[in-house]
């Protein structure tokens, strides 16, 4: 099935990240680094304030990938560099992270190479983010 | 303590198995806002060919972050103070999705260590395998620590 076509720009998805999201993610992911919940510790580490877990941003990008693929199991390879922090204010509205993607290549079996861009507060927060995505791979009788 | 470059290529024995539970997958999926039915409902997962609910792609972080924290705490002579680190990069390569019922062990290797310009970095490759020996996912993580006050 042809979910992806080479060169296609994938519809950007916007996620809102609040302090409450980071607290919940810390508990669920078992990453309790205080720079993700304490302004005091974040500032001591040279940051402007609490930042999102890099892995939380990666998880949002993964949501975009599975949404574009229409298959929660489609991602077979995913790599990112954490180039800039997502700064999350202590307010009720949080900060936006916008995930967009471009299909670089599609193989005959439908496997696509996707370049991902993540932007927050006007800055790219992930570098060299690329994924291999194969929609419907487990339903393929050839496997 | 300076980074101990002699650890390059060092592997560590697998720890106790991590038993992947449905509720942990659901909790993680809710925390990242992933509402696909296959992460929550075993029947929906079965309809897609999975034996139980599957985990969102970045779920293996539940194993690898605590693993790294434990390794550097138990082996202080590596020279990484985990309270001062940031995550530089991350890659996962999946043989299949992690799913409820998996009993997983981690096989970490310190692939590359480097120390330059006030930054120490360690690249950790971790094979995550079932207790039966099936490779499920491989993780590569670069951990960076500032060495200046």
Tell me which residues of chain A have a C-beta less than 8 Å from any C-beta of chain B: 15, 21, 24-25, 27-31, 45, 53-56, 58-60, 62-63, 65-66, 71-73, 75-82, 128, 138-139
Q: Which residues of B touch A65 (CB under 8 A)?
A: 57
* Cα–Cα dist B145/B26, whole Å: 32
Contact A10, A103 (CB under 8 A): yes
Q: Domain range holding B77? A: 5-21+55-146
Checking if the pLDDT of A143 tops 60, the result is: no
CATH code, A129: 3.10.129.10
Contact A138 B49 (CB under 8 A): yes
User: Does the distance separating the beta carbons of A66 and B56 come in below 8 Å?
Assistant: yes
Q: Do B38 and A72 touch (CB under 8 A)?
A: yes
Give me the residue label for tokens 């897609």. B48
Q: Give contacts of B93 with chain A, Cβ < 8 Å.
A: 76-77
Question: Is residue A138 predicted with pLDDT exceeding 80?
Answer: no
Q: Which residues of B touch A (CB under 8 A)?
A: 27-28, 30-34, 36, 38-39, 48-50, 54, 56-58, 61-62, 65-66, 84, 86-94, 96-97, 140
Coil, strand, or helix at residue A139?
A: helix
> Chain B: nearest CA to A57, how far in angstroms?
9
Please report the ipTM that was assigned to this predicted complex: 0.95
Structural domain includes residue A142: no
Residue B31 lies in a domain: no
Give chain A's mean pLDDT. 94
From chain B, the residues in CB contact with A80 under 8 A are 89-91
CATH number at residue B85: 3.10.129.10
Position B105 in a domain: yes
Q: How confident is the model at residue B84 (pLDDT cuts 50, 70, 90)?
A: confident
B19-56 residue pLDDT tens: 999 999 999 999 999 999 999 999 999 999 999 999 99
Look at residue B15 and tell me if it is in a domain.
yes
Count of domains in chain B?
1
Q: How many domains does chain A have?
A: 1
Gyration radius from chain A CA atoms: 17
Among B36, B50, B87, whose Cβ lies nearest the Cβ of A54? Answer: B87
Q: State the alpha helices, DSSP H only, in chain B.
A: 22-31, 42-47, 61-74
Residue B78 near residue B5 (C-beta atoms within 8 A):
no
Q: Establish if A80 belongs to a structural domain.
A: yes
| Residue B100 predicted with pLDDT over 50 | yes
3-state SS class at B39: helix
Contact B56, A63 (CB under 8 A): yes
* pLDDT reported for residue B1: 75
- How sure is the predictor about A2, in pLDDT bands with cuts at 50, 70 and 90? low
Q: What is the pLDDT of residues A43-66, one digit of tens each?
A: 998 899 999 999 999 999 999 999
Query: What pTM value is reported for the model?
Result: 0.95
């Amino acid at each position: 099935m042809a979910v992806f076509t080479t060169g296609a720009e994938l519809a950007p998805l916007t996620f809102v990240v609040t302090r409450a999201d980071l607290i919940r993610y810390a508990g669920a992911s078992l990453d309790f680094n205080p720079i993700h919940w304490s302004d005091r510790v974040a500032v001591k580490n040279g940051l402007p304030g609490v930042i999102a877990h890099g892995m939380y941003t990666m998880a949002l990008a993964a949501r975009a990938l599975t949404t574009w693929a229409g298959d929660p199991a489609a991602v077979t390879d995913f790599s990112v560099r954490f180039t800039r922090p997502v700064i999350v204010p202590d307010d009720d509205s949080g900060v936006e992270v916008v995930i967009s993607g471009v299909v670089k290549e599609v193989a005959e079996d439908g496997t696509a190479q996707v370049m991902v861009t993540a932007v927050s507060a006007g800055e790219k927060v992930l570098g060299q983010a690329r994924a291999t995505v194969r929609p419907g791979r487990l339903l393929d009788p050839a496997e | 303590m300076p980074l101990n470059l002699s650890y390059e290529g060092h592997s560590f024995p697998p720890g106790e198995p991590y038993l992947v539970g449905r509720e942990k997958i659901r909790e993680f999926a809710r925390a990242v806002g992933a509402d696909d039915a296959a992460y929550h409902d075993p029947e929906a997962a079965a309809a897609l060919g999975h034996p139980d609910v599957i985990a969102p792609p970045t779920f293996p972080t539940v194993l690898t972050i605590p693993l790294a924290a434990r390794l550097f705490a138990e082996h202080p002579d590596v020279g990484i103070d985990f309270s001062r680190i940031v995550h530089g990069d991350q890659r996962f390569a999946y043989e299949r999705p992690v799913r409820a019922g998996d009993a997983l062990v981690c096989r970490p290797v310190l692939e590359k260590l480097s120390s330059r310009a006030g930054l120490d970095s360690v690249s950790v490759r971790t094979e995550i395998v079932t207790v039966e020996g099936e490779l499920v996912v491989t993780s590569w993580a670069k951990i960076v620590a500032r060495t200046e006050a």
